[in-house]
Each structure stands twice: as structure tokens, then as C-alpha cells.
């Protein structure tokens, strides 16, 4: 039986709904829920290569701080018994989620916008890539 869940969130209403699904999933158990937010580099690679390192560090620290504050607010909605860690990582979303999932989690919970057809082809789907790449089962909330 699962003891540790990882919920990947981007702070959209759909990802916040995934948190609530996870809470319902663990209700009545001693399982914990860790929240993961993945940040992207704030500038495209070609722009970042020309930006001063100090500026990039300030931007990244600001993004990390903002994400940490938002995670604190979201984790406050989880019953105390089920609260786990708040994790902020930087990198490609799907790969970063899967890397984190391999660190002792029994289930990953992600949300999806439910795009299909050409919009999914052009936009890509983090949830779909997580389902394909994750080393553990994935619950997709639509």
C-alpha cells in the first residue's frame, strides 16, 4: 500500500484540484503527500547566455522564493496528518517530476488540461510524458 505520494503542481486551478484528489486518496490512512513545483529557466537559453550571472541568480532566487511561498499556502490545505515536504526543482517539467518520483514515492499525481489532437501535438503534454517515463504509477486528474 502506498505510503508516500508526490503531487506535481503548477499552481493552476487544475493542479490544485489534483492536490484535493490526493487528499481524498490518502484519507483514512497515515500516508503523506509531498508537493513538487518545477520551475523553468526564466530566460531562453540564448538570452541567458548573454545575461550577467548575478542577474540570472537573482531571477532564479526570486522564482524559487515565490514558488516556496505558494507551496506553503497549498500545503496548508492538506490535513496536518498527511502533510509532507514542499519541493521546488528547476528543469524540464516531465523529466524533473519523474526524477523526483524515483526517490521513494509510491504514486505520482498530476493534472492535465485534457488537450487532444493537434493542440496536444503542438503544445505537448507534461502529464502524458510523466505517464510514459515515471518509475512508479501515475494518477492523472483531469
**33-48: per-residue pLDDT in tens?**
999 999 986 656 555 5
Instruction: Check residues 63 and 108 and name the one with the higher pLDDT.
Output: 108
**60-102: per-residue pLDDT in tens?**
687 888 999 999 999 999 999 999 999 999 999 999 999 999 9
If one counts every other C-beta atom within 10 angstroms of the C-beta of residue 65, the result is: 11
**Distance of alpha carbon 127 from alpha carbon 120, whole angstroms:** 11
**Span between the terminal Cα atoms of the chain, in Å:** 24
Instruction: Check residues 51 and 81 and name the one with the higher pLDDT.
Output: 81
pLDDT-based confidence at residue 1 (cuts at 50, 70, 90): very low
Cell of 31: 500516508
Domains and CATH numbers, the chain: 4-141 (3.40.50.620)
**Distance of alpha carbon 82 from alpha carbon 141, whole angstroms:** 19
Residue 57: closest CA among 75, 76, 42, 69: 42
If one counts every other C-beta atom within 10 angstroms of the C-beta of residue 111, the result is: 24
On whether the CB atoms of residues 110 and 94 are closer than 8 A, the answer is no
What pTM was estimated for this model as a whole? 0.84
Environment class of 54 (CB within 10 Å of its CB; exposed 0-12, middle 13-18, buried 19+): exposed
pLDDT number for residue 122: 41
Amino acid at each position: 500500500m502506498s505510503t508516500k505520494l508526490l503531487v506535481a503542481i503548477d499552481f493552476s486551478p487544475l493542479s490544485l484540484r489534483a492536490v484535493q484528489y490526493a487528499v481524498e486518496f490518502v484519507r483514512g490512512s497515515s500516508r503523506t503527500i509531498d508537493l513538487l513545483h518545477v520551475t523553468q529557466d526564466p530566460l531562453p537559453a540564448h538570452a541567458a547566455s548573454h545575461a550577467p550571472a548575478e542577474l540570472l541568480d537573482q531571477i532564479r532566487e526570486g522564482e524559487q522564493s515565490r514558488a516556496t511561498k505558494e507551496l506553503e499556502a497549498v500545503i496548508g490545505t492538506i490535513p496536518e496528518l498527511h502533510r509532507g515536504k514542499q519541493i521546488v526543482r528547476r528543469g524540464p517539467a516531465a523529466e524533473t517530476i519523474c526524477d523526483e518520483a524515483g526517490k521513494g514515492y509510491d504514486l505520482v499525481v498530476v493534472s492535465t488540461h485534457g488537450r487532444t489532437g493537434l493542440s496536444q501535438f503542438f503544445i505537448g503534454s507534461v502529464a502524458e510524458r510523466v505517464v510514459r517515463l515515471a518509475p512508479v504509477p501515475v494518477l492523472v486528474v483531469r
